[in-house]
Amino acid sequence: KDDFVGHQVLRISAANEAQVQKVVELEELEHLQLDFWRGPGQPGSPIDLRVPFPSLQAVKVFLEAHGIKYTIMIDDVQTLLDEEEEQMTAFKTR
C-alpha cells in the first residue's frame, strides 16, 4: 500500500481571482505530485490541497511569497489512514 507519511492537507484561502490563478499555476507543476481535494473555484471558497512531504516546503514558500493564506487541515494524512485501518481491522477481528 502507498503510504502518506508526512503528507499534509492545506486549506488555502485565495482572496481574489489573481490568487486563485496562482494556485491554478501550482496545479500544473506535476513534479510536486499535488492532489487537489477541493479544486480552485470562486475566490473565497476553500481550496484543499494534499501535499506530499517532499513538496511541502516549496508549496508553503510559494503561497507565503504570494501572500496567499493557508492553514493545515490535516497534519499527517498517514495518521488518519492508520486510524481508519485499525478500525476496520478491529471490526474484522471481532
Partner 1 sequence: AASTDTFNYNVYHNLDEIYGFMDMLVAEHPGLVSKLEIGKTYEARPIYVLKFSTGGNNRPAIWIDTGIHSREWVTQASGIWFAKKITQDYGNDPGLTAILDSMDIFLEIVTNPDGFVFTHKKNRLWRKTRSLTAGSSCVGVDPNRNWDAGFGKTGASSNPCTETYHGKFANSESEVKSIVDFVKSHGNFKAYISIHSYSQLLLYPYGYTKDPAADDAELEGLAKSAVTALASLYGTKYKYGSIFKAIYVASGSSIDWAYNQGIKYSFTFELRDTGRYGFLLPASQIVPTAQETWLGLQTIMNYTRTHLY
Distances in Å between the Cα of 61 and the Cα atoms of 43, 82, 84 are 21, 29, 31
From 52-60, 61-69, 71-79, give the range in contact with partner 1 by CB under 8 A. 71-79
Binding residue (CB under 8 A) for partner 1 from 16, 21, 57, 87? 87
**Residue in 19, 10, 12 with CA at minimum distance from that of residue 46:** 12
63 binds partner 1 (CB under 8 A): no
Q: Under DSSP, is residue 34 helix (H, G, I), strand (E, B) or coil?
A: coil
The contact set with partner 1 (CB under 8 A) reads 1-2, 4, 9, 11, 27, 30, 35-42, 45-46, 48, 50, 73-74, 77, 80-81, 83-84, 87-88, 91
